Structure 1
Amino acid sequence: MFSLLNLFRVIAVLEGISYILLLFIAVPIKYFGDEEQYVKLLGMPHGLLFVAYIILAFILGSRLKWPTKTLLYVLVASIIPFGTFYVDKVYLKKIS
């Protein structure tokens, strides 16, 4: 069974992948190829994963008693491309 930490790690990786696909593939296709379908296709799953990431970050941060600075880094990483992968490597692998 998944622990909260493992669930957060999976969500973080999926959120990071969906963000990269949306930002570097779907958006350029939308503006350079005039095809909006890819943004629509990837936008909703990314949005759900983003919300799940934020909620789980607050829950996990509370349970693990992260300092405010650590929680802030984890939250900001969700809006930076490849940021969730950094969080997984630096913050989450230490815990598991």
Structure 2
Amino acid sequence: MQMFSFINIFRIVALLEGVSYILLLFIATPIKYIADNPEYVKLLGMPHGLLFMLYIILAFMLRKDMKWTNNEFGLILLAAIIPFGTFYVDKKFLKPQKNG
């Protein structure tokens, strides 16, 4: 298996997108509103946005090769806006399955 296959790149992007989303939602946003400090939202917002767009683009690129059904593909796209959703996608749809 190639080290830099689209599936591996997608797995890395999914992980980073998920982590950036959790940090944005559960750390940066509360700090912005509770401590009146928007710096962390400014710091994390742009990278998260880029990772989100990359996640969506890679999902579309991989859809045919991965043979995802419409429902699976919809769930994969929806996972990008649900906290911890990309971790579920990695475990359910991307991680190589071991037989036996």
Structure 1, residues 13-33: CA drift from partner, whole Å, max 9, x if none?
Answer: 000000000000000000000
Match of 1:61 in 2: 63
Count of aligned pairs between the two proteins: 96
Percent identical among aligned pairs is 64
Greater per-residue helix proportion: 1
Structure 1, residues 28-63: CA drift from partner, whole Å, max 9, x if none?
Answer: 000000001100000000000000000000111122
The structure with more radius of gyration: 2
TM-score when normalising by structure 1: 0.95
Distance in structure 2 (CA, Å) of the matches to 1:89 and 1:66: 15
TM-score when normalising by structure 2: 0.91
Distance in structure 2 (CA, Å) of the matches to 1:28 and 1:54: 26
RMSD: 1.3
1:16 aligns with 2:18: yes
Q: Give the gaps of 5 or more residues in structure 1.
A: none
Query: Secondary structure at the residue paired with 2:81?
Result: coil
Q: CA deviation at 1:94?
A: 4.0
